[in-house]
Amino acid sequence: MCVYVCTRLRRRVHSGKFNFAGQTTYFPILFMLLWLIFRGVAFEFREVIGARKWLWDGAFGVGSLVATFAQGCVLGMFIQGFPIQGREYVGTSWNWVAPFPLLVGVGLIFGYTLQGATWLVLKTEGDLQRLSREMVRYALFGVLAFILLISIWTPLEDARIAARWFGFPQSFAFSPVPVLTLLLAWTLWSSLRKGHEVVPFLCSIGLFFLAFTGLVISLWPFIAPPSVTL
């Protein structure tokens, strides 16, 4: 069914103005759907009598990991843009296998890990909560590192984005985004050390919101990547 859906999607986008999106993101979307289905299968088979729960737990984790990574690769392709000449796509179905989309894919894994771990801090107690608190610390460092890398990479690759963030007077208008990001990260870290449960989760939501706010600022007013805007 998953292959059928992706095939229909590919046929539709190939016939339209944005056929580049279907060609470039076909495999990441296919992988994401396949592994999301596999997650559901693993969850169901885990409850079967006599099932090796550790095996299905691992399968569920791998499915979540691959689906998240694939989603990040799709996002990375839309940020990076697509190779277009005139109105024709000149890339291949494997253009997503490039440093920037792969970087965004790994970064999204850290982001979802942070949000999931803060949720567990909020909803659990005892050993599981202590383990979740440790996971939050590692995930937070990963998220901040990837936010920094992507924030440096995108202006260097796109002069329009660099002018948007560092030109005058836009830089003053958009400066609250990185400042608030650092403030939220510090609040999350300090609240975690103080034993708070609700604040870390709210801060993780705030970090996601600010990250996508930065993305909107970079791409506005385009929805499609500027490289293919008519």
Distances (CA, A) of 127 to 88, 89, 121, 133, 200: 56, 52, 11, 10, 18
User: Residue 175: enclosing H or E segment and its boundaries?
Assistant: none
CB burial of residue 220 (10 Å; 0-12, 13-18, 19+): exposed
Q: Which residue has the higher pLDDT, 150 or 10?
A: 150
Give the burial string for 138-170 (b: 16+ CB within 10 Å, else e): ebbebbbebbeebbebbbeebeebeebbeeeee
Residue 3, pLDDT above cutoff 50: no
Bond into 155 cis (ω within 30): no
Q: Summarize pLDDT for 40-86 with one digit per residue, the tens.
A: 888 788 777 676 778 888 888 888 899 999 999 988 888 877 777 76
Instruction: Give the total residue count for the chain.
Output: 230
Name the 3-class secondary structure at 91.
coil
Residue 6, pLDDT above cutoff 60: no
User: Residue 230: enclosing H or E segment and its boundaries?
Assistant: none
Q: Which residue has the higher pLDDT, 106 or 21?
A: 106
Q: Taking Cα atoms as reference points, which of 82, 103, 100, 71 lies closest to residue 24?
A: 82
Q: Summarize pLDDT for 178-227 with one digit per residue, the tens.
A: 889 999 999 999 999 888 899 999 999 999 999 888 888 877 766 665 55
CB burial of residue 8 (10 Å; 0-12, 13-18, 19+): exposed
Q: Where are the domains of the chain?
A: 1-97, 107-230
Residue 125, pLDDT above cutoff 50: yes
